[in-house]
Structure 1
């Protein structure tokens, strides 16, 4: 119920912003707005105690609080719409039109003022009702002190310097057994074709399968491996395409060819590939036998060396897939193993202290052991409990947590199965314990399907657009920092799991366990926060059953479609919805443009703040947006990255509050109307061939002081000083043309003060001098260069903060390693596609002392690579791809003990054979735990079979 507190808090903050920044547009109703804000502030003081009443089952209070939430939203909608209409009217010219507008304004003031008074009166009445029901006004401190809050946020941002594998407890024997079965060390005369890992949700099936899948013996035993996440809504076409993509590593053209195949052709190609080569496919989380029946024709039966490793909750599924297969059922953890896992996941100061608090620590240990018994040996429940307790520091809080767990388990009626009731109780408590500002951040994750890999940056922008992020700390923080901290705290609480870290040590992507997602979807639906709808595979589930619960005033809707979904399906779902929708995401974009669906959205859902239309990129189709999209005047984020629009329409200028624009367009012009956008922070033009002209826009935009991201622009009609006026610019991706010298415009005296990421591309074959531009960017930590250059910058000309460097098409004659190896903080390096034209590279003694990842790709002239003693001393990942002249790996690799993963792609067969056991170079790489070879079994390593 703290969600209501969050909603009220955000509305109060928004009203405050409107009163400060939009006062000139509030004449006639400013007094009512100020009065409503005060009443909401008074109401907020009751919500904490109301939350406790709801938890204890008081239905009367619950209904009142829901009304408060909905009317808070309505109040914000009414006032924002009023402001936008007044602002629009003020732009009109002409005496007669102004008089008519003024007459209409008098009527509008009366109507809006009456509506605000009605809502304020309702708030008064509900406050009295809450007091009548015994709800007390909370006198808690409103917020943490600024200094301690900022310090905590900084600690969160430093907490994830690298990703460690999940700490696995109790699985050592399981891993050993499954690896032996897959590699046929056991029972070689009767090998199993299908090996299944079965067990309840949260048992660690996927963690175990991942350990086995990544095991070096498994990776070297099979020619190629593929991982496919299945889930309840299995998209069979996407699964088969994904497996074939993993097997063949296709180019963009080959990928499009695969996507153009019929289902029968695709199934046969995948079947034949596994028949010819020794392949391993991991099918993670198969729910039903029907799902396997839809997939089975893509997998060869009988005499084949390929194998399947699958995970499922249902033993019947495993037996149905292969009645002669091997079924492995991981055990629940015993008390000792549960305690070991808890200790490894508990992130607060340890309980092994011998200082004066040892009595408290001993009591905490006793309480932890008692609470662990409620987790019933289920790893997920133990991990979540550890995350919960890491936020509690006193004995009283731990005692209270124990009582709450017992009560929540008693209320865990969503699962009749007793083995799920305890874990559901623990998971439910993890949501209840969230502070109010984190609840909407968690509930937003219900928009993603099972097993989705969720990008942090995208999630942050959506949360900001919805208004769920506010700056509560230092003025040095940005909204993006605050949003990142919120997601980091969900990681700290073990409610989401880190999937990938960036080169700078920040979380790049995350995922959510399917049981935790079940909780998230359930809570989002109960709170009427967001509805998730899946139209994929309607053969298994008719459209009528997808939305059995009627939705009317839903505010957020996420829709996933397949190729067979139609505009009628969409209309069927939304026909009863009113205009309250604030967030809409449609995945499989063709439905959005069919039968006027897009136009329907733009005419009906005028309060939309976030509109996302996403799908696989279509290189052939060009879309024209309907002019009605200009009606969405409240829009904060518009993202359509994979549907090419013919031009950037002038009505984008109606989106006065737009913060993020992400589109793929053929156009190279920005309409003048977009200069009126006052809140623009992130601008992504995802063009393939050429960037968008932006010079005139930057010289006149009202968002100059807010812009942080410019991606996909080109240097035509642009000078560097235009960009240097953007004091908050952090990311710049620019295409340059023949005017590069004039673009630089004497930059030596000018520098980017906040730029952190720079990408420069040049399409033609004229060399540019990149040094002056690099010198103007002293703070960047990411740099991508894709152009012929006159010279490589010297060490002291690069930013000293450079962490990630990607180089393409530089066509250098001299070895770049002597320069690059001296960069003091470099951790990630990619040298690719004709970057170096020579035949020998040398990493000298002690060079690259911080480099962790190195990729050499497309260096066709390279014949010899030398690594001297103590070079690359921290290297953990090495990838070599399409360097077909390279004869052997360096002898110096044998001294790099940190190297744990090598990936060799599209290299000659002899190159691979030298590194296999018994080969001439095996002694150099035998210490590398994971050695993966992809498409290296032909003499010339063709790109694709």
Structure 2
């Protein structure tokens, strides 16, 4: 069969919506787009979307591999999965490369018989009806129709693995190079199918591409008038990369005169129009996605109602909130902590394309997430409909007095305005509130008689911004609190904090320079699992016998410890620590006998450690790390490079960040056999000049190397070119010679077949 170049994905200006188009419209669109095989699309007439993905998928379809394989295109509703897949399926390459081909839409309401009939009609058309045949007879006929042929079957909108489980025996693998392609909003379907498969995730369009799409759809072969460019581009940006949203704006603009004032009128009300239109066009898709969620994931998804538009949410805090609300409940056969179960919930929501990953960790895990605006609008409406969470804002009281007074189920309240007159909350109503979020714009409402914190007796979650000292007394009456997040100007936490005996997560942000004084009674919070402070603080003295009950703490971040025996005693009272971030100070007695690095090998559950040293450099330093440590960050220890072997011998270390003078000296001679599991290495603000690695096996599992502000470093060891796992080198403010050595490594990687290796310069 002919081996033609991959077609460019193109969207006809006047064609079907970029959302899931129906087959009739798309066939007409395709007929216009591909009048002849190999025709090149005119860039003035068409906007090319997802060109790279289209090329990759087309190459995978036609690459000559004989084994039956599966290709999946995944992404959130409305991103253009079906449009992309249809464009590829309808290209002239498909009939040229495959004997038979078929496509059908699966939908959530899975119907095996309907799918069998649809596919058979396309691969083996016949005049006699098949409706009298049983499902097994239809499946057998499909197998015979495909046997010995090279085929491609396209399933649109796959919801789960039932289709493959039921119909896989109907798709023979005769080593003919057959392919099965499907679209889905769920990333994890492929991993559940025991068959060679490749996944292509679709991300939102860039702002530039969104504007090009809008311009071409609206003006076709013409250009946008100069006076409309600014407002037009802004509307395209507001579409947030969804082709479906671009379609909406185009529809609105088509009915308006092409005048600046008319366009600005639409731009000003765009969010309202988007919401209204989604009710009619997108709501069905989103409703299906929501209804398909397991019951335990629905409140986790709706909880994004508590966050502002486009807000990046740290996933650790998000999961702690879910736990505090009681959403996370392990099944009988599930092992691990509540945090481990919450991670599974998060992964499931991401796999369903309902939330987006916005920040990745060193090893590619999720650090922050957010919800797309269109999905957020759905969450707003659904949360209100189900009385899950209500809002008071400055322009419209989404929570009315009548609603509050008649509320019979526990609910959550998000206060975004200082104006409380229209929505005073009575004491009986406040008792039903389980979660209260008061933004910085509404902090003054805490002084209102209609909004007394002490009335929220059963509150589990409290998040307050800009609180004053006179609020502490009210907070300490909330005995059921599990999650407390405070932004404060106060330097002192009152000892009554010990009243909150149910508290599991305590997040404290100091909003001005200085040190927070923690009371000794902080050690009475024996249920505390996560304690993070943004700002300087020192842990108080304590009663050691009492302190040993403090064994639930998993996260302790940014307090200061003084070097010495007391530090070790404190840490021995925290046997469950999984993540520790702190500053080490000079010992109280400044004794030269004092090791400025505490003994930590007894913290057998510790996985992540971040340490910064603040003090004189004359003291000795001996490392004693727990063997299970996976992530280590060191700053300002100014250690000689000879000390690094202790770190290199850690058997499970995967991430190492050496920052701001962690080590000092011009020469680092690596030793073979160290850092055997290291995947991520960052060297930042170090005075290293030579980094040597003799012949041998060095950093055999390294995936990412980051060099930042190491402006004396001459080059990267050439042996990294032999590391089979290496994926990326990132350089920030390094010498030209370092860049040259990185490119030499890249050439070596490409010679070994690693075409995915990248160098990024910042």
Deviation string, structure 1 residues 111-168 (Cα, Å, up to 9, x no partner): xxxxxxxxxxxxxxxxxxxxxxxxxxxxxxxxxxxxxxxxxxxxxxxxxxxxxxxxxx
In structure 2, the partner of 1:322 is: none
- CA distance change for structure 1 residues 671 and 823 in 2, over 3 Å: closer, same or farther? same
User: SS at the partner of 2:609?
Assistant: strand
Distance 2:414 2:396 in 1: 14
Distance 2:638 2:684 in 1: 15
Query: Is contact 1:530–1:555 with CA below 8 Å preserved after alignment?
Result: no
Give the superposition deviation at 1:637: 0.8
- CA distance change for structure 1 residues 821 and 858 in 2, over 3 Å: closer, same or farther? farther
Out of 858, 868, 876, the residue aligned to residue 709 of structure 2 is 858
User: SS at the partner of 1:772?
Assistant: coil
In structure 1, the partner of 2:682 is: 830
Find out whether 1:648 has 2:493 as its counterpart. Answer: yes
In structure 2, the partner of 1:675 is: 523
In structure 1, the partner of 2:249 is: none
Alignment of 1:687-702 (within 5 A): 687=535, 690-696=536-542, 700-701=546-547
Deviation string, structure 1 residues 733-791 (Cα, Å, up to 9, x no partner): 121122297776997795211011111111234255443333xx211111111122444
Query: Is contact 1:661–1:682 with CA below 8 Å preserved after alignment?
Result: yes
Give the superposition deviation at 1:843: 5.4
Gaps of 5+ in 2: 1-5, 22-46, 55-77, 91-101, 109-115, 120-135, 144-150, 160-181, 195-272
Deviation string, structure 1 residues 497-522 (Cα, Å, up to 9, x no partner): 44444334543333334343333322
Deviation string, structure 1 residues 797-850 (Cα, Å, up to 9, x no partner): 6422111111121241143362599411212222112x3x24333455553332
User: SS at the partner of 1:704?
Assistant: coil
Out of 580, 584, 591, the residue aligned to residue 732 of structure 1 is 580
Out of 173, 184, 191, the residue aligned to residue 9 of structure 2 is 173
In structure 1, the partner of 2:366 is: 507
Distance 1:825 1:598 in 2: 59
Find out whether 1:894 has 2:741 as its counterpart. Answer: no
Query: Is contact 1:557–1:583 with CA below 8 Å preserved after alignment?
Result: yes
Give the superposition deviation at 1:481: 0.8
User: SS at the partner of 1:849?
Assistant: coil
Alignment of 1:23-62 (within 5 A): none
Find out whether 1:764 has 2:565 as its counterpart. Answer: no
In structure 2, the partner of 1:779 is: 628
Distance 1:599 1:696 in 2: 40
Alignment of 1:347-496 (within 5 A): 359=139, 383-384=184-185, 424-473=283-332, 476-496=335-355
Distance 1:582 1:360 in 2: 57
Out of 421, 433, 441, the residue aligned to residue 581 of structure 1 is 433
In structure 1, the partner of 2:478 is: 632
In structure 1, the partner of 2:561 is: 715
Query: Is contact 1:709–1:729 with CA below 8 Å preserved after alignment?
Result: yes
User: SS at the partner of 2:464?
Assistant: strand
Deviation string, structure 1 residues 196-248 (Cα, Å, up to 9, x no partner): xx977789xxxx99969999xxxxxxxxxxxxxxxxxxxxxxxxxxxxxxxxx
In structure 2, the partner of 1:111 is: none
User: SS at the partner of 1:736?
Assistant: strand
Query: Is contact 1:521–1:532 with CA below 8 Å preserved after alignment?
Result: no
Distance 2:720 2:104 in 1: 40
Out of 802, 805, 811, the residue aligned to residue 653 of structure 2 is 802
User: SS at the partner of 1:773?
Assistant: coil
Deviation string, structure 1 residues 60-106 (Cα, Å, up to 9, x no partner): xxxxxxxxxxxxxxxxxxxxxxxxxxxxxxxxxxxxxxxxxxxxxxx
Out of 605, 627, 637, the residue aligned to residue 788 of structure 1 is 637
In structure 2, the partner of 1:839 is: 689
Query: Is contact 1:682–1:710 with CA below 8 Å preserved after alignment?
Result: yes
User: SS at the partner of 2:623?
Assistant: helix
Aligned-residue RMSD, C-alpha: 5.2
In structure 1, the partner of 2:602 is: 751
- CA distance change for structure 1 residues 372 and 729 in 2, over 3 Å: closer, same or farther? closer
User: SS at the partner of 1:484?
Assistant: helix
User: SS at the partner of 1:544?
Assistant: coil
In structure 2, the partner of 1:663 is: 508
User: SS at the partner of 2:349?
Assistant: helix
Distance 2:737 2:706 in 1: 17
Distance 2:571 2:674 in 1: 30
Query: Is contact 2:19–2:83 with CA below 8 Å preserved after alignment?
Result: no
Give the superposition deviation at 1:657: 0.2
Gaps of 5+ in 1: 1-169, 179-197, 216-311, 314-327, 346-350, 374-380, 394-413, 536-542, 616-620, 901-922, 935-945
Out of 326, 334, 337, the residue aligned to residue 86 of structure 2 is 334
Distance 1:843 1:341 in 2: 57
Query: Is contact 2:433–2:456 with CA below 8 Å preserved after alignment?
Result: yes
Give the superposition deviation at 1:583: 1.0
User: SS at the partner of 1:509?
Assistant: strand
- CA distance change for structure 1 residues 583 and 820 in 2, over 3 Å: closer, same or farther? farther
User: SS at the partner of 1:802?
Assistant: coil
Query: Is contact 1:533–1:559 with CA below 8 Å preserved after alignment?
Result: yes
Distance 1:701 1:723 in 2: 10
- CA distance change for structure 1 residues 628 and 802 in 2, over 3 Å: closer, same or farther? same
In structure 1, the partner of 2:534 is: 686
- CA distance change for structure 1 residues 212 and 815 in 2, over 3 Å: closer, same or farther? farther
- CA distance change for structure 1 residues 385 and 367 in 2, over 3 Å: closer, same or farther? farther
- CA distance change for structure 1 residues 591 and 746 in 2, over 3 Å: closer, same or farther? closer
Distance 1:812 1:389 in 2: 48
Give the superposition deviation at 1:462: 0.3
User: SS at the partner of 1:713?
Assistant: strand
User: SS at the partner of 2:368?
Assistant: strand
In structure 2, the partner of 1:249 is: none
- CA distance change for structure 1 residues 749 and 368 in 2, over 3 Å: closer, same or farther? closer
Give the superposition deviation at 1:477: 1.1
TM-score, with normalisation over the residues of structure 2? Answer: 0.59
Query: Is contact 1:733–1:759 with CA below 8 Å preserved after alignment?
Result: yes
Report the number of matched residues: 546
- CA distance change for structure 1 residues 416 and 580 in 2, over 3 Å: closer, same or farther? closer
- CA distance change for structure 1 residues 200 and 625 in 2, over 3 Å: closer, same or farther? farther
Give the superposition deviation at 1:447: 2.0
- CA distance change for structure 1 residues 768 and 861 in 2, over 3 Å: closer, same or farther? farther
Give the superposition deviation at 1:527: 1.2
Q: Which sits farther off after the overlay, 717-726 or 630-639?
A: 717-726
Distance 2:53 2:748 in 1: 17
Counting strand residues as a fraction of each chain, which structure ranks higher?
2
In structure 1, the partner of 2:112 is: none
Counting helix residues as a fraction of each chain, which structure ranks higher?
1
Give the superposition deviation at 1:723: 1.0
Q: Which has the higher contact order (CA 8 A, sep 6+)?
A: 1
- CA distance change for structure 1 residues 724 and 505 in 2, over 3 Å: closer, same or farther? farther
